[in-house]
Structure 1
Amino acid sequence: MPTRCEICCEIMIAILLPPIGVCFRHGCCSVEFIICLLLTILGYIPGIIYALYAIIFVDRDQYFDEYRRPLYSQY
């Protein structure tokens, strides 16, 4: 479970660069990252909205396995 500080940092990064914030939370080869990257290319605001949704509401522990390991895993 990420701490509040980690989530806060991910949100601030997601506002500046939405795909990077999603990458920190879900990993670089995840569906969430690809969707956020495409939305950011199509428009900056939709990318931010989806990044915030992916960081706050999508539970990564439910889909966690070794192949989708995030960048800062504590395991």
Structure 2
Amino acid sequence: MSDGTATCIDIILAIILPPLGVFFKFGCGVEFWICLILTFFGYLPGIIYAVWAITKEPAGA
């Protein structure tokens, strides 16, 4: 599967269940826990953070 397809699938998962999309991209790291907490506080903040985290450029790029 190409990187673009994987990112698209991660974004779709992030809209349906935000922590799941972040988990598939980053594992059980800080990004996942931030997304989980934001989703508990409100579904929309979780979606916004998940899409941002998935689409942001890596620090080294």
Unpaired segments of 5 or more residues in structure 2?
Answer: none
What residue in structure 2 maps to residue 52 of structure 1? 51
Could you tell me the TM-score, scaled by structure 1's length?
A: 0.73
Query: Cα RMSD between the aligned structures?
Result: 1.5
**Deviation at 1:59?**
2.0
Unpaired segments of 5 or more residues in structure 1?
Answer: 63-75
Q: Determine which structure has the larger helix proportion and give its number.
A: 2
Counterpart Cα distance in 2 of 1:25 and 1:50: 13
- Structure 1 stretches of 4+ moved >2 Å: none
Deviation by residue 1:39-73 (Cα, 9 ceiling, x = unmatched):
0000000000000011000528x5xxxxxxxxxxx
Counterpart Cα distance in 2 of 1:9 and 1:22: 11
Q: How many residues align?
A: 59
Higher-Rg member (1/2):
1
Q: Amino acid of the residue matched to residue 19 of structure 1?
A: P
What residue in structure 1 maps to residue 3 of structure 2? 3
Q: Amino acid of the residue matched to residue 25 of structure 2?
A: R
